[in-house]
Structure 1
Amino acid sequence: MKTKLQASRAARGWSQAQLMDALEDAAERLGIELPSRASLKTQVSMFENGRRDPGADYQALFCEVYQATRVELGFTLEIAPSQLDALPTLPSPRVPSPTASPEILGYLKSVFLQHAQAEPLVGPRFLVPAVQSQVPLIEELCKEASGPLRDDVVRVGARYSEFLGWLHQDTGDSQSAMLWTNRALDYAAELDDPVLSAYVYQRRSNIAAEAGQAGYAIGLANAALANARKLPNQVQAVALRARANSHALLGQADDCARALDEARAITDSGADDDGGLAGYCSVAYIDMEAANCSIQLHRPEAAVKTLEASLTQWPAEQQRDRGLCLARLATAYAQLEDVEGAYNAASQAVDIAQTTGSARILAELGRLQSHLTPWRKLVEIAELNRVLGSMKGS
C-alpha cells in the first residue's frame, strides 16, 4: 500500500530525481539547508516507505513542492509545548469555575467586538495581551458547557482564537499565528461548520504565504475552496484571493488572474450571511489585493493606479491597512523608478508602522529597500534606510 507521499509523487508523474530537484528549489526559497544529494535520496526513500517520519523542515518542504497541507500528506500537526505552557491560567483552583450563560457570552462577544474595532487603529501590540486574557475564561466555559449553549461557547472560542492568530501575524510571529489559527480550526471541527472551517483555512493560507511558503499556501487555499459552491460569497471570495496571492508569489500570472476575476465576480454578485466572518470583502478590497499581486508579479503600473485611487477614499478607522497600502504603493513606485513617489509614500507608511507596531507594514518596507538600492546614496533614501534599520532592531 502506497504512503501518501508516494501517492503524491505518483500523481505528478515525477521520478525521485525530479522530486529531489523540486525539494532543492523549495529549500533555497525557504532558507532550509539540505544534505548531499546522496543523503537526500536516502532520506526521501525512508520517508516515502514510512520507515522514518519527516521532521519540521522536511514537512514544510513536502507541503511546498506538492502544494498540499500537512494533513493531506499524512503528517501530524505539532504544537510547541512551550507556547502552550506560556498561556495564562486562572489564578487559583479554589475559585469556582464559571458556568456558561447568555450573560457571560454576551460579555465575551461585546469585548471581542470592541477589540476588533480598535485593532485597525492601534495595531496588535497592545491588543494581544488583552485578547489572550479572555482565553482562560473561554476554556473553563468549554469544560462544562453542554446543551444549546455549548455551540455558542465553542463559536466564541473559535472567533477569539482566529483573531489572536491574526494579531500575531501582524506582529510578524508566524509560528504563534499558525498555532492560534489551528486552534480556531479545532473549534470549527467540533461545530462541524464548513463555512467557519473554510474561512480559517484561508487564514492559514495567508499566514503561510506571508511566511514565504507559497506552495503550502495554495494547498490551504484549495482546502478552503473544497466545497466552494456551498460557501457564502464573501468567504468564497477571500479564499480565492488567498489562492491568487499564492499563485502570484510563485510567478503564476494566468492562474492568479483567473482566481482574482472569479473573486471579483462573486463579490460583485452581492453579500450574503457569513456570520460576520468576511464583511470586509468588497470589490474594492479584491482590487487592492490584486494590486499587491501585480507588485509580486513585477507589473507595477496597474498597482499604482489602483492604490492611488484607494488612498483617496480610505476610511480613517482603517489606519493600519492604510499604512500597508502606502508601503505597497512605495514598492510599486520604486519598480517604476519613481524615487520621489516611493520616498513620499514610504515616509507616511513608516509613521503608521511606528504607531501601530505592524510587522506586515515593516516587511513591505523591507521589500521596498531592495528596489531602492540604486539610489541608496541619496540623502532622503539613506535617511529612510536608517529609520527602517532602527525599527527592525527595536
Structure 2
Amino acid sequence: MLSRLAQARADRGWKKARLLHELRAAAGRRGETLPKDESLGRRVAIWENQGGAVGGFYSDLLCEVYGRSAIELGLTEPVLPRSPDPVVPDEGTMPHFSRLDASLVGLLRGQTQNIRLLDRRLGGAAIFRQARAHVDNVEQIVRYALPGDIRDEAAAELSQAAALAGWQALDMGNLDEAWRLHETAVSAARESGDGSALAYARAQQAYVLLDGDRPADAQALIASAGRSHAPIPPSLRAWLYAAEGEASAALGDRDAAIRALDAADALLPDQVDASLPYLMLDDGHLARWRGHCLARLGEESAIAELSAALAKMGEGNYGRAEVSLRVDLALAFTARSDIAEARKQAQLASELAGQTGSARQRRRIAGLLGL
C-alpha cells in the first residue's frame, strides 16, 4: 500500500524527476537551493517508502507543490484535543464579543486587498496560507459581533476573503477546499445582504464544477447566480455573462458561448467599477476570456484575441492569468497545426506555472502536450 506521500505523487501522475523539478521551483521562489538530484532523490525515496521524517522546510515545499496540508500528506499527525475536565457551566457567562467598528472593517478590507494583489502577481500557492488564516480571523470576528450595519459590512468582507482563498485553493488543485471556502463566501454574502457579492461567489463556485468535469452543473449554477432579485451592477452582469460563455464553451455549444460573450461585451462599462474590488474585468480581460472560449472550441481565431489580450495585460503583471492565456495560445496554435509555436507557448506557460504554483494550469499543460 502506498504511503500518503507516495499516493500524492501517483495522483498527480508525476515521475520522481517531475517532483524534484517542482521542489526546486518552490525552493527557488523562496530564494533557496536544494541538493543535487541524486541526493534529493534519495531523500524522496526514504520519505515515500520508509516513512522517514520530513523536516519543516521540506514539509512546506511538499505541501506547496502538491497543494495539500501536512496532515493530508502524512507528514504530521492531527493533534487530538485533550478531553477537558468537566466543569459546571456558569449560566451568567457571556461570550467575548468582537470589538467591531468601521475602522476595523477598513483594516480587514485593506488586508484582503493586499492578499488579492499579491495573489495576482505570485499565484495562490505562495499566499494561500496567509489568505486562509485571514478568512479564519474575519470569520471569528463576524461570528462574535453584535448584529447591525457594521457586522453586515464585516460579513461582506468575509465573503470576499473566502471567495479569494477559494479561488486559490482551486488553482492549487484542491477542489474540496475550494468548494468549502466558496460555501463560506456564499453564506457570508447572504448574511450581509450584498446581492452582488452573493452572485459573484455563487458563479465563481461554478469553476469548481468545471474543473471537476461537470460543465452542465456549472452552467446551471452560473445561470442561477445571474437571476438574483437584487440589482447587479453592469460590470458584474458582464462578468456573469462571460462566465456563462465559458461554461457553454466547455459544453461545446459555440452559439451559446458567443451569444453570452457578446452580451458581456455590450454591458461592459468604460470605467472599472471601484465598488467591486474583487472583479477583474476590462476590455483586455474580456478579450482574454473570449480567446479562451474560442481556443476551447478549437478555433484558430482565438490567436488574434489572445495576442491582443496579452499585449494589453503586460507580461509579469498578472502571473496566473498570463499562464492561462499562454496555455490557451498553445491550444489555438495546435488547432492551426503550428506545433512549434504551440510548444513554445506551452513551455512559457510551464515556466510561469512553476513560479505561481498553479497545479490547475500544470494539468492543462501536461494534457495538452504531454509535458
Number of residue equivalences: 280
| Equivalence for 2:357 | 357
Structure 2 counterparts to residues 259-278 of structure 1, below 5 A: 259-268=260-269, 271-272=272-273, 274-278=275-279
Structure 2 counterparts to residues 220-369 of structure 1, below 5 A: 220-227=221-228, 230-268=231-269, 271-272=272-273, 274-278=275-279, 280-299=280-299, 301-315=300-314, 316-369=316-369
1:331–1:365 contact (8 Å) kept in structure 2:
no
219-228 or 111-120, larger mean C-alpha shift: 219-228
Quote the offset at 1:130 in angstroms: 0.8
Partner deviation per Cα, 1:214-261 (whole Å, 9 max, x = no partner): 110111111121148931111111111111111111111111111111
Quote the offset at 1:205 in angstroms: 1.8
| Equivalence for 2:194 | 193
2:303–2:333 contact (8 Å) kept in structure 1:
yes
Structure 2 counterparts to residues 32-111 of structure 1, below 5 A: 98-111=98-111
| Equivalence for 2:126 | 126
Looking at structure 2, the residues matched to 309 and 107 of structure 1 have their Cα atoms a distance apart, in angstroms, of 37
Looking at structure 2, the residues matched to 128 and 271 of structure 1 have their Cα atoms a distance apart, in angstroms, of 26
Looking at structure 1, the residues matched to 159 and 230 of structure 2 have their Cα atoms a distance apart, in angstroms, of 23
Looking at structure 1, the residues matched to 224 and 296 of structure 2 have their Cα atoms a distance apart, in angstroms, of 23
1:198–1:225 contact (8 Å) kept in structure 2:
yes
| Equivalence for 2:154 | 153
Partner deviation per Cα, 1:152-172 (whole Å, 9 max, x = no partner): 221121111111111101111
RMSD of the TM alignment (CA)?
Answer: 2.5
Quote the offset at 1:148 in angstroms: 2.9
Instruction: Name the amino acid aligned to 2:288.
Output: M
1:142–1:153 contact (8 Å) kept in structure 2:
yes
Looking at structure 1, the residues matched to 207 and 239 of structure 2 have their Cα atoms a distance apart, in angstroms, of 10
Question: Taking structure 1 as reference, are residues 270 and 126 closer, same or farther at Cα in structure 2, changes over 3 Å only?
Answer: closer
Q: Secondary structure at the match of 1:134?
A: helix
Question: Taking structure 1 as reference, are residues 235 and 167 closer, same or farther at Cα in structure 2, changes over 3 Å only?
Answer: same
Question: Taking structure 1 as reference, are residues 185 and 133 closer, same or farther at Cα in structure 2, changes over 3 Å only?
Answer: same
The answer as to 2:139 corresponding to 1:139 is yes
1:268–1:283 contact (8 Å) kept in structure 2:
no
1:225–1:239 contact (8 Å) kept in structure 2:
yes
Looking at structure 2, the residues matched to 139 and 191 of structure 1 have their Cα atoms a distance apart, in angstroms, of 13
| Equivalence for 1:114 | 114
| Equivalence for 1:76 | none
2:326–2:345 contact (8 Å) kept in structure 1:
yes
Quote the offset at 1:271 in angstroms: 4.8
Q: Secondary structure at the match of 2:124?
A: coil
Looking at structure 1, the residues matched to 261 and 267 of structure 2 have their Cα atoms a distance apart, in angstroms, of 10
Instruction: Name the amino acid aligned to 1:314.
Output: M
1:327–1:345 contact (8 Å) kept in structure 2:
yes
- TM-score, structure 2 as length reference: 0.70
Q: Secondary structure at the match of 2:125?
A: coil
> Structure 1, unaligned stretches of length 5 or more?
1-81, 90-94, 370-384, 389-394
178-187 or 219-228, larger mean C-alpha shift: 219-228
The answer as to 2:201 corresponding to 1:168 is no
304-313 or 223-232, larger mean C-alpha shift: 223-232
Looking at structure 2, the residues matched to 153 and 368 of structure 1 have their Cα atoms a distance apart, in angstroms, of 43
Percent of pairs with identical residues: 22
Instruction: Name the amino acid aligned to 1:303.
Output: A
Higher relative contact order structure (alpha carbons within 8 Å, sequence separation ≥ 6): 2
Instruction: Name the amino acid aligned to 1:363.
Output: R
Q: Secondary structure at the match of 2:313?
A: coil
> Structure 2, unaligned stretches of length 5 or more?
1-70, 73-77, 82-94
